[in-house]
Structure 1
Amino acid sequence: MRADQLAGIGDEAAMSLPAQLGAIGELGWRAVELRTVDGRALADLDDASFARVRDAVADAGVRVVCLDSRIGNRSRPITDPPDADLHELDVLAERGAALGTRAIRVMSCPSGGLPEPEWRARVLERFALLGDRAARRGALLLHENCEGWAGSDPDRMLRLLDAAGPCLRLLFDTGNGIEHGYDALTVLGRILPHVEHVHVKDAVGGPGRAEYVLPGDGDARVRECLRLLFDGGYRGPLSLEPHLVTRPHEGLQGTDPDAFARAGRRLEGLLAELAAPGAGVR
């Protein structure tokens, strides 16, 4: 792996952008993934606030690898009209261009109480619409193995890719299987050629009772996932999302300022192990 693959989701470290960029800089990393700033989603910032974000990122000399959207997430069931998702895609495509990234993280919509056949049909229709809009906006959508119709099933992920076309790829999160009740390594083996972006976290427990731990200390088989990715030729971002004390999308704001750095150092240690002679990772 390359040193420039290491990134972090900024609001996992702090709410304010200066503190987010400071946490990335403390690790010596040069890439950030943006989700919220001061508790507000990036797409909801007014133009002046976004201009300050753009300037701060440029001044820090940090590369933006992805913008994390609310498209298709837990707050937007498939029974909602597509307007909010399309608007957010438009805003983030424009802001991503200003920040130097095409990548926008998405999910595939809660069911809203629909039976599976109708849920499936509506999701595939929605993603055909999103894929077309992304193509026209120059964006690349990254579907995460988290919530929604295709969140945990590799066959559904592949169907989603077919529906949306070339402007959709996959984002693989090493730790989501613990919370959502599936073996992430098995899923990764099925989708590996389509993975464009990676989140790194680890956990113990199970659905509804996941407890997040340092990468490599849990049951998500993070080492094995990273080995499979590297052996399969993955050279994209490894974006740290430790979930240890701060999870803004769940309203959890921690008070341990060193947790993000500890997780980052642990990830660096795992990568050093995998790169050691005989480890089988180039």
Structure 2
Amino acid sequence: MRRELSFAGIGDEAGTRLPAQVAAIRRLGWRQLELRSVDGRALADLGHDGLRRVESAIRDAGVEVVCLDSRIGNWARPITEPFARELHELDELLEWCEALDTRFVRIMSYPNAELPEDEWRHRVLDRIRRLAERAAEADVVLLHENCSGWAGASADRMLELLAAVGNLRLLYDTGNGVAHGYSGHDLLAEIVDHVAHVHVKDAVLVDGEARYCIPGRGEARVADSLRLLLAHGYRGTFSLEPHLTAVPHQGRVAGDTAADSFVAAGRALERLAVEIPR
């Protein structure tokens, strides 16, 4: 018997406001949402009132929140970022996790800031260990994404990070390899057994820059990655992050046509998945 796959989407790729995010997920017939920002603001900046408003809307919509995407360790927060700010963001998101019954928080592993390699490594391992311990107290698991930071593009460093830090799993993004200059599929082959969550996007490289496209039409080997994950028993969620309109690291937010593009990307993801034996 073919098992059903689990799909979700990062809502602010479909619209800045929560109703637009939920509506796009419903158009796809999905019931799972991943949250990064609402009304153009990161979750950790919305405060208690914002949390209660979002919580109420999520419950009324009957959708499940599968992951919260933090800014911890991302492209805008180098290793010299004050650690107190990172702890504050995590504490805010742990409150969100409890309210929304969510177990996963996405992090990255800190770009360098002209520190020697050994010191950069030491600080990254120390910070993520302390963050993971804090999350464990709330029964929340941190997910490290193959994006910015010390372990962003290296399977060996990801595995070293996992060995050094308890309560940490990996988040694999299918399209990040194209954007960051490495083979994402080759990296996945080395870390596949440690992946607990997946982001799906695709891209082509044009004049040295990634241009994002519908899943399956680019150079990211999305179908091959899905096939590899399923062959290794992956049972987590495939969460759509197409970057067709909204690209946070470029300062681009979801525009008027974002929902239509998001839904088109979601349909393409479903078609790719249907063709994979399981």
TM bucket normalised to smaller: over 0.9
User: Structure 2: how far apart are the matches of 1:12 and 1:36?
Assistant: 10
Amino acid corresponding to residue 29 of structure 1 in structure 2 = W
Preserved CA contact (<8 Å) 1:245 1:255: no
Q: What SS is found at the alignment partner of 1:105?
A: strand
Preserved CA contact (<8 Å) 2:34 2:65: yes
1:77 to 1:209, Cα distance in 2 relative to 1, 3 A = same
Q: What SS is found at the alignment partner of 1:242?
A: coil
Preserved CA contact (<8 Å) 2:75 2:249: no
Preserved CA contact (<8 Å) 1:79 1:112: yes
Q: What SS is found at the alignment partner of 1:258?
A: helix
User: Structure 2: how far apart are the matches of 1:216 and 1:79?
Assistant: 38
Task: Name the residue aligned to 1:232.
Answer: 232
Structure 1 position 213 matched with structure 2 position 208:
no
Amino acid corresponding to residue 88 of structure 2 in structure 1 = H
Task: Name the residue aligned to 1:112.
Answer: 113
1:123 to 1:93, Cα distance in 2 relative to 1, 3 A = same
User: Structure 2: how far apart are the matches of 1:48 and 1:229?
Assistant: 39
Task: Name the residue aligned to 2:180.
Answer: 180
CA shift for structure 1 position 117: 1.6
User: Structure 1: how far apart are the matches of 2:184 and 2:206?
Assistant: 13
User: Structure 2: how far apart are the matches of 1:143 and 1:259?
Assistant: 27
Structure 1 position 32 matched with structure 2 position 33:
yes
For structure 1, list consecutive stretches of 5 or more residues without a partner in the other structure: 275-280
CA shift for structure 1 position 255: 3.2
1:16 to 1:169, Cα distance in 2 relative to 1, 3 A = same
Divergent runs of 4+, >4 A: 1-4
For structure 2, list consecutive stretches of 5 or more residues without a partner in the other structure: none
Give CA-to-partner distance per residue, 1:202-236, whole Å, 9 cap, x none: 00006951000100100000010000000000010
CA shift for structure 1 position 250: 2.9
CA shift for structure 1 position 37: 0.1
User: Structure 2: how far apart are the matches of 1:134 and 1:100?
Assistant: 14
User: Structure 2: how far apart are the matches of 1:86 and 1:3?
Assistant: 37
1:4 to 1:47, Cα distance in 2 relative to 1, 3 A = farther
- Considering Cα pairs closer than 8 Å and 6+ residues apart, tell me whether 1 or 2 has the greater RCO: 2
Structure 1 position 146 matched with structure 2 position 147:
yes
Amino acid corresponding to residue 79 of structure 2 in structure 1 = I
CA shift for structure 1 position 75: 1.7
1:38-117 to 2 correspondences below 5 Å: 38-117=39-118
Q: What SS is found at the alignment partner of 1:107?
A: strand
1:22 to 1:88, Cα distance in 2 relative to 1, 3 A = same
How much identity, in percent, do the aligned residues show? 58
User: Structure 1: how far apart are the matches of 2:207 and 2:189?
Assistant: 22
Task: Name the residue aligned to 2:169.
Answer: 169
CA shift for structure 1 position 136: 1.7
User: Structure 2: how far apart are the matches of 1:206 and 1:185?
Assistant: 19
CA shift for structure 1 position 261: 0.6
Deviates more, 1:253-262 or 1:13-22: 253-262
Counterpart selection for 2:267 from 265, 268, 277 = 265
User: Structure 2: how far apart are the matches of 1:169 and 1:264?
Assistant: 25
CA shift for structure 1 position 102: 1.3
Task: Name the residue aligned to 1:277.
Answer: none
TM-score, normalising length: structure 1: 0.94
Task: Name the residue aligned to 1:246.
Answer: 246
Q: How well do the aligned residues superpose, as a CA RMSD in angstroms? A: 1.4
Q: What SS is found at the alignment partner of 2:66?
A: strand
User: Structure 2: how far apart are the matches of 1:37 and 1:153?
Assistant: 32
Deviates more, 1:235-244 or 1:203-212: 203-212
Amino acid corresponding to residue 265 of structure 1 in structure 2 = R
Q: What SS is found at the alignment partner of 2:275?
A: helix
User: Structure 2: how far apart are the matches of 1:52 and 1:226?
Assistant: 35
